[in-house]
Amino acid sequence: MKAGVIHCRCSKCYSVPVRKRVRKRTPALTLLSLPEEVLLCVLQCLSAEDLLAVRAVHSQLRDIIDNHSSVWARVSFKDTWPAPNTVWLFERAAEKGNFEAAVKLGIAYLYNEGPLLSDEGRADVCGRKASHFFSLAESLRSPLANPFIWVFIRPPWSPTGSCCKAVVFDRLKAECDNNMVRPLLHCLARVLQLFEEDEKHMDALLMLEESSQAGCLQSSYLLWEHNRRNAMADPGRYLQYVRTLRDYAAKGCWEAQLSLAKVCSSGNPLGLEGRACADLVAQLFMTVMGLRFSVSISLHLCLCRYILVDWLVEVTTMKDFSSLTLHVTVGCVDRYLALRSVPKARLQLLGIACMVVCTRYISKEILTIREAVWLTDNTYKYEDLVRMMGEVVSVLGGKIRSPTLLDYGEVLLSLLPLERRTTHLFSYICELSLLYSALSTPSPAKLACAALLLTRALHHYAPIWPSQLADYTGFSKQDLIPFAVLLHVKCFSQDVPKDYRHVSLTGVKQRFEDEAYQQISKENVLTYLLKLMDPPSPTGQPADITTFLSSPSSNSKRRCDDSMQAHRGSFVATPTAELSTQEETLLGDILDWSLDTSCSGYEGDQEESEGERDGESDNFHKASDIHQCFKFRFIYLGRNRISAHSRTLLCTFTCRHVCAK
């Protein structure tokens, strides 16, 4: 720069460098950036395979997974079975409190299915391993839960002396001697009760007493059942035993609750007032323990379930198992389907696995695994059935037995006994209800009451729902009518599903054609549903439903009464009044039942009387939908000229008639 030269500060001579604005990059969000509490919730929802993959991604994730037992306790082993390369993973999860891993390991070691062990001393090694994980599985359950591991070690045992079940029993007994564990004592007692030797029966009673003193509610109830027969001979002693039963029921033992309801239904040993005794029994029918799982399955899988249950009925009949075994088996199937999805190809495997487990829990004669595989025509292998048994027990949390229709039915029949043939009809309806998934949604308590209502109606009992039943169950006749109609439509439809060979599935019907059930399934079930709505006629015969429409159980065409024909001229053919809210709701429910593809209605529903055909055809063709058709017919027959109960019956038959057209 030359001296004396002054530069201006214009843009040409002087410029300030422009600062570039640098945008700060937002840090990328990763799994590690989540709060630890949120991260733990994410990890707890992963399967075992995914958890291992996440664990190998980063050292920080590995530390979080290894240091938090809650992650291992809740990891899912769905469709995964212990194998030589994954046994360590199952054992680690089981030691951290994973019930599913403990159950699957116990069954895998018991049947030597999965882990590879040498033949030398295999029974002893497998027995020690199985007893450890079975004991661990029982310790992870609620103290009020019914112990279940005795189901897998119950007799028959191998006569060769190298039985893994016997090793498990001895190991569990040694564990109880060192440290008394009440669930294990209960399991050991249940096993000893199944032997024929009197000495073992005495040992079983001693174990039950020890378990009861330790606080096992189920052992206390079994002791009560054992001493009940002796206590009934002394009224004072029996009163004390009933009070003890009431205490067990108040603590949450549902078997004690059922027994208490039977005792109070057949008499009043506690000396309570009539209303108090009725409320005590009604509380059983209103408790949430009777709620079923809602099974949401597709229509195709619904048909597959029908085929499965029909096949299970045939197995029950062939093996001469009890109806209770069948009901508990289907209950396990439905509860499993409510929690896990099952491919169609494995549905039969699920059903037979549930039956194997339930026969061991209920029956003295069991269904062996090899025999069960043979019953499936060797579609599945031995190891497939063993693994499915582990899946079922682990998913159900070890809860095999749950209240069924038969349990509540025994309470109802002890309250108001029926004739022998009517009792068989009630059992027949209960088994027919097992076939339909739509009937697995209502609680078994309400469905049992609806089945009894339908049974009494079909055999002309009057009144069909006495006040005594309403007081002791808490259900009125109006509460049960929709379920009774649904039972009638489902169970006595002439459109019986067929299998792939186009053979009708009539396993339940054939089962009740036996002389032991007085061939009740051959009885012609007539639709006396008007008896559900209106009182019986003074003659004692069921009311005549031909007053306003033909019987759906008859193929003959009947005319309405002359009095009805005389009033038809004054009726209008278009609606003059809207339906009430209750009637609209009832219509929606009935339409849902009528449109069900599993039933197409009776043949009689598709016919009309000659007087109705000419006058009503135009009105039905003018209607744009089924609801409008219903309103035309409803008003046409005179809304103000029939009772509310008769209108309800008319809704039922009209909707089925329209759907058939």
* Owning domain of residue 199: 36-213
Q: How far is residue 534's CA from residue 126's CA, in Å, rounded to a whole number? A: 66
Q: Are the beta carbons of 164 and 127 closer than 8 angstroms?
A: yes
User: What's at 640, amino acid-wise?
Assistant: N
Distance of CA 360 to the CA centre of its chain: 19
Q: How far is residue 109's CA from residue 105's CA, in Å, rounded to a whole number? A: 6
Burial string for 59-94 (b: 16+ CB within 10 Å, else e) reads eebeebbeebeebbbbbbbeebbbeeebbebbbbbb
Please, what sign has the CA dihedral across residues 464, 467, 468, 474? positive
Identify whether residues 195 and 260 lie together within a single domain.
no
User: What's at 539, amino acid-wise?
Assistant: T
Residue 521 falls inside a structural domain: yes
Q: How far is residue 639's CA from residue 378's CA, in Å, rounded to a whole number? A: 61
> CB 626: neighbour CB atoms within 10 A?
17
Q: How far is residue 269's CA from residue 265's CA, in Å, rounded to a whole number? A: 10
Residue 128 falls inside a structural domain: yes
Q: How far is residue 262's CA from residue 412's CA, in Å, rounded to a whole number? A: 8
Identify whether residues 198 and 49 lie together within a single domain.
yes
Residue 140 falls inside a structural domain: yes
Largest pairwise CA distance in the chain: 138
pLDDT tens for 534-588 read 444 444 444 432 232 233 333 333 333 333 333 333 333 333 333 444 444 444 4
pLDDT tens for 249-284 read 999 898 999 999 998 888 777 777 778 888 888 888
Residue 616 falls inside a structural domain: no
Tokens found for residue 617: 């055809």
pLDDT tens for 68-124 read 899 999 999 998 999 988 999 999 999 999 999 999 999 999 998 877 665 556 788
Model confidence at 298, in pLDDT bands (50, 70, 90)? low
Q: What is the number of structural domains in the chain? A: 3
Identify whether residues 48 and 131 lie together within a single domain.
yes
Which one of 213, 248, 277 terminates a domain?
213
Residue 313 falls inside a structural domain: no
> CB 396: neighbour CB atoms within 10 A?
18
Degrees (nearest 5) of the Cα angle 343, 345, 350?
Answer: 75
pTM, two decimals, is 0.76
Q: Could you tell me where the DSSP H helices lie in 292-415?
A: 299-319, 323-339, 347-362, 369-375, 382-395, 405-415
Distance of CA 291 to the CA centre of its chain: 8
Model confidence at 348, in pLDDT bands (50, 70, 90)? very high
> CB 44: neighbour CB atoms within 10 A?
16
Identify whether residues 144 and 280 lie together within a single domain.
no
Tokens found for residue 92: 């680690």
Identify whether residues 248 and 194 lie together within a single domain.
no
pLDDT at 655: 47
pLDDT at 26: 72
User: What's at 286, amino acid-wise?
Assistant: M
Identify whether residues 241 and 137 lie together within a single domain.
no
Q: How far is residue 34's CA from residue 135's CA, in Å, rounded to a whole number? A: 37
Among 208, 230, 229, CA closest to 217: 208
Tokens found for residue 22: 């640098």
Identify whether residues 110 and 49 lie together within a single domain.
yes
Predicted confidence (pLDDT) at residue 317 exceeds the cutoff of 50? yes
Average pLDDT taken over every residue of the chain: 77
Distance of CA 243 to the CA centre of its chain: 31
Identify whether residues 177 and 44 lie together within a single domain.
yes
- DSSP state letters, 222-248: HHHHHHHHHHTTSHHHHHHHHHHHHHH
Model confidence at 631, in pLDDT bands (50, 70, 90)? very low
Residue 366 falls inside a structural domain: no
Identify whether residues 132 and 79 lie together within a single domain.
yes
Q: Are the beta carbons of 152 and 106 closer than 8 angstroms?
A: yes
Residue 343 falls inside a structural domain: no
Residue 103 falls inside a structural domain: yes
3-state secondary structure (DSSP) of residue 76 = strand
Q: Which CATH number goes with the domain that contains 480?
A: 1.10.472.10
Q: How far is residue 275's CA from residue 267's CA, in Å, rounded to a whole number? A: 13
Q: How far is residue 222's CA from residue 530's CA, in Å, rounded to a whole number? A: 45
Percent of the chain exceeding pLDDT 70 equals 72
Q: How far is residue 208's CA from residue 212's CA, in Å, rounded to a whole number? A: 6
pLDDT tens for 187-233 read 999 999 999 899 999 999 999 999 999 889 999 999 999 988 777 77
Identify whether residues 180 and 282 lie together within a single domain.
no
Burial string for 488-500 (b: 16+ CB within 10 Å, else e) reads bbbbbbeeebeee
Which one of 148, 183, 213 terminates a domain?
213
Higher pLDDT, 248 or 3: 248
Identify whether residues 248 and 157 lie together within a single domain.
no
Identify whether residues 179 and 244 lie together within a single domain.
no
- DSSP state letters, 295-318: ----HHHHHHHHHHHHHHHHHHHH
Which one of 508, 533, 558 terminates a domain?
533
Predicted confidence (pLDDT) at residue 379 exceeds the cutoff of 60? yes
User: What's at 17, amino acid-wise?
Assistant: P
